[in-house]
């Protein structure tokens, strides 16, 4: 699922690294003409990954499995940072895929 929002990547990175594993550290570069942030970083909970960029976040799992409590927390944090899905013709009718939650 791809979510879109503009935000301060350095601030997001510092916030997320406190609770989740950093897969790729924050790197920054600016678009020359518009001075848009083009960098990003990737964090991981247990089975859920989040690729965070200035204008979007992508949540994914490398191997389908039930979400753990930590996965649900990462999902919640990303949805807080990127509250509205970006609507384009390709994802206008798309919705978040169903997922299982680990029972403990």
Predicted confidence band of residue 9 (pLDDT cuts 50, 70, 90): confident
- What pLDDT, in 10s, does the model give residues 63-96? 999 999 999 999 999 888 876 655 555 555 566 7
Residue 35 CB coordination number (10 Å) = 7
Radius of gyration (C-alpha) of the chain in whole angstroms: 14
CB 78 within 8 A of CB 1: no
Q: Which residue has the higher pLDDT, 71 or 12?
A: 71
| Domain edges within the chain | 2-81
Q: Name the average pLDDT for the chain.
A: 79
> Does the CA dihedral 24-45-67-96 come out positive or negative?
negative
């Amino acid at each position: 699922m791809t979510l879109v929002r503009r935000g301060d990547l350095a601030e997001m990175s510092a916030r997320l690294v406190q609770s989740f594993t950093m897969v790729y550290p924050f790197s920054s570069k600016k678009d020359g003409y518009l001075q848009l942030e083009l960098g990003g970083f990737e964090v991981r909970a247990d089975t859920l990954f989040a690729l965070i960029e200035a204008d979007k976040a992508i949540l994914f799992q490398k191997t389908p499995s039930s979400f753990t409590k930590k996965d649900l927390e990462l999902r919640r944090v990303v949805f807080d940072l990127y509250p509205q899905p970006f609507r384009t013709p390709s994802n206008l009718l798309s919705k978040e895929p169903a997922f299982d939650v680990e029972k403990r």
